Amino acid sequence: MVSEIYVNTLKPGDVFRDWLIDVVGDKLHNKRCKVRVYRVPASHTVCKYEFVNEGYGVFAKFYAEPRGGNWKYNAGKAMDNEFKKLKLANQFINIPKPLARKERFNCVLVTEYVRGRPLSKYINDEERLYEKLTAVAQSLRRLHDGTRSSYKKEKEFANFHKVLNQVGLNSSTKEKYNRLLGNWWHDELSEWPFGSMIHNDANPANYLFSHGKVFALDFESSWNHAHPVHDLGIAAAELKKYFGWNKHDSRRAEPYIGHFLWHYSRSEAEFSRVTEALPFFMSLGLLRIARWGGSNDQRNYLLKEAEACLSSGLS
């Protein structure tokens, strides 16, 4: 993995290393093997543990060791919640298999390490990008269909307002967004017959291709009772940003977005409905990208496109 940093090598007798050996079990031939530790940049302390000469590894995320500013939360509850979400998602799609959790070790959650190539690496390869987007669309469809529930519309709108507040807009621009969101609230396009568990972080870095399969990564921010098109909008926003900003022509994203939505949909009627609901969530996705910084020019571009999406989609 890019930017991982070697930290240490654990030997037999180290309490955490010995616990990992028990967790992994029969996947190892030599239970006395050393374990290399690599730290990975993330919102919490996250480490890769590589079992030397075994061709196998795991990731460990320590919920009691946040790396950002959010220290006031229940780490044990957060660990349990993500473990449950991973176990549920694993029933329907490929993810790095959740193996264990342990509050004693700083609320650690352990998953298998999957070696592969992220979707972001295919974005300049036209033919292969279509193929990979098909796989991601089908994976999201299985997740959404397998976790159907009621749809809590108010939660989607509360999330949009939360992101708006994080972007730091001036008062007049924020008021414009508030008016547009009010229009969406009263428009039938914001309705959906069911909710689902969503990935909620459907960006190209979080889909990994390995041995002909696509694996979805990072379910920390996923939630239930959400609008299924939410995930599609986040992914579409990433494509629009890449081609619009990096390649200076957002129209180049349109065939890929259309292909992605088509392979998600079960019928022409559903494709039409998904396409109509998409601008709301594309706008959200563009705002999510804008809140993480970048140059002023890039931020202004993203805000302009986000407002255009939110305006254009209303019936």
* pLDDT on residue 70: 61
* pLDDT on residue 164: 95
Residue 68 has pLDDT above 90, yes or no: no
**Residue finishing a domain among 57, 92, 112:** 112
Same domain, 188 and 39: no
Same domain, 53 and 133: no
Q: Which residues of 247-262 are buried (b: 16+ CB within 10 A; e: fewer)?
A: eeebeebeebbebbbe
What number of residues does the chain have?
Answer: 315
* pLDDT on residue 59: 97
* pLDDT on residue 1: 47
Report the range of poorest mean pLDDT among 166-170, 225-229, 232-236: 166-170
Same domain, 69 and 131: no
* pLDDT on residue 2: 54
Same domain, 105 and 134: no
Look up the CATH number of the domain holding residue 270. 3.90.1200.10
* pLDDT on residue 94: 98
Task: Please give the Cα distance from 149 to 167 (Å, whole number).
Answer: 30
- pTM of the predicted model over 0.75: yes
DSSP-assigned states of every residue in 198-236: E-S---GGGEEEETTEEEE---TT-EEEE-THHHHHHHH
* pLDDT on residue 72: 72
Q: How many domains does the chain have?
A: 2
The 35-40 sheet, strands edge to edge: 5-10, 35-40, 44-51, 56-66, 108-112, 98-102
Same domain, 182 and 250: yes
Same domain, 283 and 168: yes
Residue 305 has pLDDT above 60, yes or no: yes
Q: Look up the domain containing 208 and give its range.
A: 117-312
